[in-house]
Amino acid sequence: MKTLRSLLPADAVIQFVIRLGLLALLVLWTFLIIKPFIPILTWSAVLAVAFYPAFSWLAKLLGGSPRTAATILTLVMLGIVIGPAAWLGLSAVDGIREIASQIGTGDLALQSAPEQVKNWPLIGPQLYDFWNLAYTNIRAVLREVTPYLKPLAGYMLSFAGSAGVGTLQFLLSVLVAGVLFPYGPQLADAIRSFLFRIVPEQSEHFLELSGATIRAVSQGIIGVAIIQALLAGIGFKLAAIPSAGLLAVIVLLLSIVQIGAALVLIPVVIWIWMDKDVAMALPLTLFFVIVGVLDNILKPLVMGRGLTTPTIVILIGVIGGTLAHGIIGLFIGPIILAVAWELAAAWIRIERAVPADVGKSTTPAIDATLQHL
């Protein structure tokens, strides 16, 4: 088989290498320029795809006015980000800084058993003694472990410090998404044309699968988790629970990784019944029960189809996205990994469904090249 150098003149080979090098340099330089904006552009695209059905419905309701619909939807999203989301984020930052400060100074401690626990019927005295025993032992353990946790305090403070940048990225993403809404069909055609050059037979299928996965994860997982966290945060504030914002963020994380908010809500309900009177504890308990089962009600309504992405992929997306892009990566990480997983799974299914002919190329151009060589 002849080599490329034997088929082409020396000057042609040199020109080919130079052009290839310049193209690689251009691609690398372009990537370096847009690298700081990748999280913003990615989240903007996710928002545009996730909310495009709502934008389309609103545009039709307004008599076919896409720009007005995009403006209204953008203002609504900005109100959500600037209002409840900003309040939740700032509260969480205060809680993280407080814990990081306690770890740094070695003053991390737990709360001792409240006196009113003694008055509980049947189990009150035993529970009070057990609580105090556990409190004493855990406090002693924490005194020994706290010096080793000090490096963690630095990471926590760094994460809290990125909250302002993350909030700004959210705001810019919403604005960019609002600009993208009216150009949805043109952008879809451009992506379709790009996919056609990579996977000609499956370009339409992969485009539909990507859009469906983005909507399923962003609405059925991220969206429901945000709603649960916001409602839980409101309940924590009404109950005057310390570090309410931080607890709401933990609810958000647990909901995203499909563990559920019960790990936080159950201890909170127990604390409420120990600290509040019945008139206050009963409605708050009913409220938290509704918040806890909210995902089981909303997910079947908004996801539309069953999501086949494993929970471990979502978890890796949450952790990896947060480490790579900060707070905004918490949301775009699982979405991007879910899309990649679904596309890879679809590609594998297609390859298995179409048996390959051994020793025969399916591309006439490759056959002709091999014959020529």
DSSP conformation letters of 318-352:
HHHHHHHHGGGHHHHHHHHHHHHHHHHHHHHHHHH
221 or 359, which is more confident?
221
Determine the residue type at 87. W
64 or 156, which is more confident?
64
pLDDT at 158: 60
How many residues can be counted in the chain?
373
- Predicted confidence (pLDDT) at residue 60 exceeds the cutoff of 70: yes
The encoded tokens of residue 211 equal 């859009």
136 or 366, which is more confident?
136
Q: Express as a percent the part of the chain with pLDDT over 90.
A: 4
- Predicted confidence (pLDDT) at residue 149 exceeds the cutoff of 80: no
Quick: pLDDT tens for 299-314: 777 765 556 778 788 8
Give the mean model confidence (pLDDT) for residues 206-212. 82
213 or 326, which is more confident?
213
pLDDT at 26: 92
10 or 78, which is more confident?
78
pLDDT at 29: 92
- Predicted confidence (pLDDT) at residue 245 exceeds the cutoff of 60: yes
pLDDT at 372: 39
Res. 24 pLDDT band, cuts 50 70 90: very high
Angle between helices 224-238 and 244-256 (to 10 degrees): 160
Determine the residue type at 204. E
What would the DSSP string read from start to end of 143-184? Answer: HHHHHHHHHHHHHHHHHHHTHHHHHHHHHHHHHHHHHHGGGH
pLDDT at 310: 82
Residues 37 and 168 sit within 8 Å (Cβ to Cβ): no
Q: To the nearest whole number, what is the mean pLDDT of the chain?
A: 75
pTM: 0.67
pLDDT at 96: 63
Listed by start position, the domains of the chain span 4-355
The encoded tokens of residue 232 equal 């839980």
pLDDT at 5: 53
Identify the top-confidence range among 45-59, 110-124, 265-279.
45-59
Residues 92 and 246 sit within 8 Å (Cβ to Cβ): yes
Residues 353 and 260 sit within 8 Å (Cβ to Cβ): no
Task: Please choose, from the candidates 271, 265, 273, 272, the residue with its C-alpha nearest in 3D space to the C-alpha of residue 111.
Answer: 271
How far apart (Å, rounded) are the C-alpha atoms in residues 220 and 288?
A: 20
Give the mean model confidence (pLDDT) for residues 172-193. 87
How far apart (Å, rounded) are the C-alpha atoms in residues 40 and 170?
A: 7
- Predicted confidence (pLDDT) at residue 37 exceeds the cutoff of 90: no
- Predicted confidence (pLDDT) at residue 373 exceeds the cutoff of 50: no
The encoded tokens of residue 31 equal 């990537």
Res. 363 pLDDT band, cuts 50 70 90: very low
The encoded tokens of residue 203 equal 């370009």
